[in-house]
Amino acid sequence: MKKRIIILLIISIISIYVGYKYFGKKKTLNSNQDIVKFIINTRFSNETLKDKIKSYSLKWNIPLLKEYEEETKVEEDKSPIIYLYNSHPIEEYQSETIGNYTLNPTVSMNNYILKELFEKEGFYTYVEEESVTNILNNNNWNYASSYKASRLLLEKRKQEYNSLTYFIDIHRDSLTKDKTTVVINDKEYAKVLFIVGLENKNYKYNLEFTEKIVNKLDEKYPNLCKGIYKKQGAGVNGVYNQDFSPNTILIEIGGYENNTTEILNTDLAFKEIFLEVINEEIN
């Protein structure tokens, strides 16, 4: 009897220890900036992940978390030319568990990934931190007024940083994963779709700029882009703040079932193509 009690006690202690070790320390990351830092550190900084680094074709050195934070503070003092924001910031991607972390990313995750990628190439970028949701709530505006809210932020940032030239509003699709994912050279990507509002009287300039991006994407990453959806008429916004600048684009990256790896692969591809386009314009 005593032997059985001792065995049960040992089993209980082991169960408690295992439960604490594997479940008790689990953390949930809801901040998109923290999620991106986590991805950078786990997928690029760890020496055991060299194969993954090669698979992403990244040749630049990623700093550790503390250094990353310090570098970001320095870079934000530069004059940004690219502005990243989300008119619908609560649009979510697939939650996933990596090690002791649960990631709950939204479309804003793209902002911090692209900021890192753009700035490694010398294109300083401003990520909007102010919440469109808060603006809607504070003004008693409904969800349909999201572009009205983000317009306030566009105007505010342009006044603060006259250097801002390119404006990217990032969303995600609401379709299922089979319609938002593509495999290119054995890598899974989240598909992209561009929206151009035809109720902007100067929409042709936005369309021309968007077409340059789409044509290059189609050439280098076949089937990654689902094209350009031109929208007008009842029940749609029709402008999407694209009257603010001919270099304002709206892009949907992936859908609600896409994971961080698929999103990251697409962000890397978009970075490459977008910088090609603006380099051609600058030169």
pLDDT in tens, 192-232: 999 999 999 999 999 999 999 999 999 999 999 999 999 99
Extents of the domains making up the chain: 28-282
| Confidence class for position 281, pLDDT limits 50, 70, 90 | confident
* Domain 28-282, second-level architecture: 3-Layer(aba) Sandwich (3.40)
Cα(258)–Cα(10) distance, integer angstroms: 43
Answer whether residue 54 shows pLDDT above 60: no
pLDDT in tens, 165-178: 999 999 999 999 99
Query: How many DSSP H helices and E strands does the chain contain?
Result: 10, 11
Q: Scanning the structure block, which residue is given the tokens 């598909």?
A: 191
| Higher-scoring residue by pLDDT: 96, 53 | 96
What average pLDDT score do residues 123-133 get? 95
pLDDT in tens, 236-250: 999 999 999 999 999
Return the number of other C-beta atoms located less than 10 Å from residue 104's C-beta: 16
Report the share of the chain in percent with pLDDT over 70: 77
Answer whether residue 4 shows pLDDT above 80: no
Cα(49)–Cα(183) distance, integer angstroms: 22
- Asked if 224 and 143 touch (Cβ cutoff 8 Å), the reply is no
* 80: nearest Cα among 131, 117, 119: 119
The pLDDT value given to residue 37 = 78
16, 18, 19, 21 alpha-carbon torsion, rounded to 10°: 120
| Higher-scoring residue by pLDDT: 101, 86 | 86
| Confidence class for position 28, pLDDT limits 50, 70, 90 | confident
Answer whether residue 92 shows pLDDT above 90: yes
The pLDDT value given to residue 1 = 59
Name which of 62-76, 100-114, 172-186 the model is least confident about.
62-76
What average pLDDT score do residues 94-102 get? 83
Chain centre to alpha carbon of residue 110: 1
| Higher-scoring residue by pLDDT: 26, 110 | 110
- The b/e string for 106-134 (b: 16+ C-beta within 10 A; e otherwise) is bbbbbbbbbbbbbbeeebbbbbbeebbee
Mean pLDDT of the chain: 83
| Confidence class for position 96, pLDDT limits 50, 70, 90 | confident
Q: Which helix (H) or strand (E) holds 232?
A: none
List alpha helices for the chain, DSSP H. 2-19, 32-40, 50-55, 65-75, 108-120, 132-138, 146-160, 177-180, 203-220, 260-282
Structural Rg of the chain based on CA atoms? 22
Answer whether residue 133 shows pLDDT above 60: yes
* Residue 169 β-bridge partners: 85, 250
